[in-house]
Amino acid sequence: MRKVEFIEVPSLVSARNRRDSSVTIKYNFNPTLKTLAYFKDKKFFIRTYGCQANIRDEEVMSGILTKLGMVKVYDEKLADVAILNTCAVRENAEDKVYGQIGDFKSIKAKNKNLILMICGCMIEQKHIIDKILDKFPFVDIMFGTHNIKDLVTLLNKYVDENKRYVYVSSEVGAIVEDLPSKRLESYRAYVNISYGCDKFCTYCIVPYTRGKERSRSKEEILKECKELVDKGYVEITLLGQNVDSYGKDLKDGTTFANLLDEVASLGMPRLRFLTSYPSDFKNEVIDVIAKHKNIMRYLHLPVQSGSNSILRAMNRRYTKEEYLDLVERIRTKIPEMAFSTDIIVGFPNESYEEFLETIDLAKKVHYTSAFTFIYSPRVGTPAAKIEDNVSYDEKVKRFKELVSEMEKDFIYFADQMVGKTYEVLVEEVSKKNKELLSGYTENLKVVHFKGDESMIGKLVKVKITENHLYSLIGELVNE
Ligand code: 5AD
Ligand code: SF4
């Protein structure tokens, strides 16, 4: 058995500790000569699960490894370094990762020099680290979301001592600037505006895995966005677990509304942001969106539940009425806005009547799309300690009922689009039909149409001809 070196291990207690304030540091690229020689021209593979924050982390890790002289590959069997970048938000995300780690047993048997690393939100949890150390002896390195900056330090140690390493700092989290980055796409980019979350919704693991909420400086964000605009990027998404509280910790009066206004003024064709928190969403933001035509007319506004008692149990700090009032205020100023949301069905002890209130709210908002989930208990969160009297089968039944109710609105909205012409950002050749291209409108409806591959990454005009529930069919409009 190889020795395990625990450089730092996570602790829920210190992850909950929010007393320290965050610092901004510069990235320090520190490979030894031995590391540089070892990894030059070697191949790396990264598989990312979960949200956009993880996708952005993948780009940073790709940047660091590329700087080491490595080359990215898309087949794990060809890799010298493989990283699984994990998500902990629901149990099914974790189960997928265990399956993938298992698959590496035979890959490592064939390629003994492969370095297998696991990072991301799952690794922020001590019980998961213990399970991986025990069940998967071929996993070499585990590191946390705050330790991406330490990737090269870990590789230095690995080439020197060849032990197994665990490096997970449960801390407030620093803001690291000047991180290398190799973006996955050349026309669409994510830009972090803040990290972490201070909301502590009772079902959610994120405040423990990603640390205290901390905002990047407005100057750094504008610099990064300006570079992307200069490179010709078509769409930028500003990222934060709660974008609406951006700037609170900067204590210099900067708000999300100021930031959004200045970023939009840089003039990229499309700008959007994720994720909004209803009771932090300010009227000034509505005005800024109304003012800038390049801010997409699509708002992801997670509601989670339409029942005030469940919202309270979730520690969501708004009522159903306040949420509906916000939607109304936005619609009054921006009538064309499309709304999407996140909903959790089957929070512990949710009654059928409380569930029906969620359907009622959804029908009032007329969402154009939604991400719906069955509640999944997360170890260490307050909700996971609640004894639950609702069976899983009942939750599945409610989940299906909600989806079929919401689909009526999705169909209605998309039906209204038929016959009209929209600007579409072309993403790829359609996965289902190689003859077609796929892209999406500014209200995030997927459109398939005939076109040339050279259009990928560009905005084109498409007239919608048919509606197929989760996608539309259209034809190119020549200008
Ligand atoms: N169970 C189910 N869904 C969850 N989400 C977060 N935590 C859980 C959980 N424990 C959902 C929320 C959140 C989205 C990203 O994931 O709806 O908005
Ligand atoms: Fe989780 Fe709530 Fe923070 Fe979103 S706002 S990341 S759901 S704790």
Q: Which of 403, 358, 353, 396 is nearest to 375 (CA)?
A: 396
294 C-alpha to center of ligand 1: Å?
29
Of the residues 262, 285, 308, which one is the last residue of a structural domain?
Answer: 285
Q: Is the CB of 89 under 6 A from ligand 1?
A: yes
248 and 222 co-located in one domain: yes
Show the DSSP H helices in 242-344 as ranges.
256-264, 283-291, 308-313, 320-333
CATH of the domain at 281: 3.30.750.210
438 and 308 co-located in one domain: no
Q: Is the CB of 376 under 6 A from ligand 1?
A: yes
Burial label for 59, CB within 10 Å (0-12, 13-18, 19+), is buried
55 and 190 co-located in one domain: no
* Residue 178, domain member (yes or no): no
162 and 29 co-located in one domain: yes
Write out pLDDT tens, residues 167-220: 998 766 789 999 999 999 999 999 999 999 999 999 999 999 998 999 999 999
316 and 385 co-located in one domain: yes
Write out pLDDT tens, residues 343-369: 999 999 999 999 999 999 999 999 999
d(CA 232, CA 189): 11
Which atom of ligand 2 has the smallest separation from the CA of 316? Answer: 2
Q: Which domain holds residue 444?
A: 418-476
326 and 273 co-located in one domain: no
The answer to whether residues 148 and 46 touch, using CB atoms and an 8 Å cutoff, is no
CATH of the domain at 360: 3.30.750.200
* Residue 141, domain member (yes or no): yes
Q: Please give the pLDDT value at position 307.
A: 98
Of the residues 395, 415, 435, which one is the last residue of a structural domain?
Answer: 415
Q: Is the CB of 199 under 6 A from ligand 2?
A: yes
Which atom of ligand 1 has the smallest separation from the CA of 275? Answer: 18
402 C-alpha to center of ligand 2: Å?
22
pTM: 0.95
Considering its fold, how many domains does the chain have in total? 4
* Residue 432, domain member (yes or no): yes
**Token digits of residue 319:** 């009522």
Ligand nearest to the CA of 303: 1
d(CA 427, CA 298): 18
* Residue 176, domain member (yes or no): no
3-state secondary structure of 40: coil
Q: Is the CB of 65 under 6 A from ligand 1?
A: no
116 and 199 co-located in one domain: no
42 and 148 co-located in one domain: yes
42 and 79 co-located in one domain: yes
The answer to whether residues 300 and 275 touch, using CB atoms and an 8 Å cutoff, is yes
User: Checking DSSP bridges between strand 194-195 and strand 214-215, what pairing results, if any?
Assistant: antiparallel
d(CA 262, CA 149): 29
Q: Please give the pLDDT value at position 470.
A: 85
Residue nearest (by alpha carbon) to ligand 1 atom 17: 342
Q: Please give the pLDDT value at position 21.
A: 74
d(CA 345, CA 314): 12
198 and 231 co-located in one domain: yes
Q: Is the CB of 51 under 6 A from ligand 2?
A: no
* Residue 310, domain member (yes or no): yes
428 and 371 co-located in one domain: no
Of the residues 135, 167, 199, which one is the last residue of a structural domain?
Answer: 167
Q: Is the CB of 301 under 6 A from ligand 2?
A: no
pLDDT by residue for the chain (479 residues), tens digit each? 789 999 988 877 777 767 667 789 999 999 999 999 999 999 999 999 999 999 999 999 999 999 999 999 999 999 999 999 999 999 998 999 999 999 999 999 999 999 999 999 999 999 999 999 999 999 999 999 999 999 999 999 999 999 999 999 876 678 999 999 999 999 999 999 999 999 999 999 999 999 899 999 999 999 999 999 999 999 999 999 999 999 999 989 999 999 999 999 999 999 999 999 999 999 999 999 999 999 999 999 999 999 999 999 999 999 999 999 999 999 999 999 999 999 999 999 999 999 999 999 999 999 999 999 999 999 999 999 999 999 999 999 999 999 999 999 999 999 999 999 999 999 999 998 999 999 999 999 999 999 999 999 999 999 999 998 889 999 999 86
**DSSP E strands, 24-168:** 24-26, 43-48, 71-72, 81-86, 115-120, 141-143, 164-167
331 and 450 co-located in one domain: no
